[in-house]
Amino acid sequence: MGQSIVIQSIEMVDDSIIVTMNRSLTSQVGEGYDSRADADSGGSFGALLAARLFEADDSIERVYVASNTAVLKLPSATDDASLTSSLSTAIENLLLFYPAV
């Protein structure tokens, strides 16, 4: 039930990962979260995405979601394919009620 979010691009810029999706999750006004607890207190799709991303990787320092873009701040620059894969899975399955196992 639900549809997967398609990731259109993932860019690494210094210590940040910029993810562009095919769905808008917030309005043009963005939402920023510094922790899973902070995201859990929000009630929007942006907050839900941030919570799932913090859950997928505890090294994320901040998540900022604006429209169809998410910016993830990491403690240092990384080019780790496994990190990108786990974050991609969390994003793609965000709106699925029964995600593929």
Q: What is the pLDDT of residues 72-100, one digit of tens each?
A: 999 876 666 667 788 888 999 888 877 56
Domain ranges, residue 46: 7-92
* Residue 99 placed within a domain: no
Question: Do the Cβ atoms of 62 and 33 come closer than 8 Å?
Answer: yes
* Residue 2 placed within a domain: no
Q: What is the CATH number of the domain that holds 28?
A: 3.30.1370.70
* Residue 25 placed within a domain: yes
- Residue 97, C-beta contacts closer than 8 angstroms, at least 6 positions apart: 1, 2
pLDDT of residue 42: 85
* Residue 38 placed within a domain: yes
Burial (Cβ within 10 Å: 0-12, 13-18, ≥19) of residue 39: buried
Structure confidence by residue, pLDDT tens digits, 13-40: 888 999 999 999 988 889 999 999 999 9
- Going from the C-alpha of 56 to that of each of 23, 27, 28, 29, the distances in angstroms are 20, 24, 25, 25
The CA distance from 10 to 37, in Å, is: 25
Question: Do the Cβ atoms of 5 and 53 come closer than 8 Å?
Answer: no
* Residue 50 placed within a domain: yes
The CA distance from 94 to 98, in Å, is: 10
pLDDT of residue 18: 94
Structure confidence by residue, pLDDT tens digits, 36-77: 999 999 889 999 999 999 999 888 999 999 999 999 999 876
pLDDT of residue 66: 95
* Residue 75 placed within a domain: yes
**How many structural domains are present in the chain?**
1
The model's pTM is 0.86
* Residue 100 placed within a domain: no
